């Protein structure tokens, strides 16, 4: 999990609960808080890594066995063939 975004989201949810009597502000703060928590978890999971978001995560195929490997890898993880 991405700690800062998750913490900000949790604080916004708590602030929204404190301002419960102002229904509109409560709902907006809770929605924004939940969004921050979801984004924090997604960024921290690795599936949406900075490299993938910036478009640097590209895959190529091994010449020998045909398995998919990262373009920046030196060796195929399946057959051990050196990439070019």
Same domain, 43 and 65: no
Say how far apart CA 35 and CA 50 lie, in whole Å.
19
Both 9 and 39 in one domain: the answer is yes
Q: Which of 37, 54, 51, 50 is nearest to 1 (CA)?
A: 37
Kindly tell me if the per-residue pLDDT of 1 is higher than 60.
Answer: no
Same domain for 43 and 18: yes
Range of the domain at 65: 57-84
Cβ atoms < 10 Å from Cβ of 57 = 13
Number of domains forming the structure of the chain: 2
pLDDT tens-digit map of 28-72: 778 888 888 877 777 666 655 555 555 556 778 888 888 888 777
CA 80 to chain centre: 30
- In terms of domains, do 37 and 64 share one? no
Predicted TM-score (pTM) of this structure: 0.34
Is the pLDDT at 80 greater than 80, yes or no? yes
């Amino acid at each position: 999990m991405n700690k800062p975004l998750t913490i900000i989201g949790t604080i916004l949810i708590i602030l929204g609960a404190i301002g419960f009597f102002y229904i509109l502000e409560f709902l907006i703060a809770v929605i924004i808080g939940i969004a921050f928590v979801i984004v924090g978890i997604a960024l921290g999971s690795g599936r949406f890594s900075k490299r993938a978001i910036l478009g640097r995560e590209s895959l190529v195929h091994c010449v020998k066995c045909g398995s998919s490997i990262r373009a920046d890898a030196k060796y195929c993880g399946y057959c051990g063939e050196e990439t070019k």
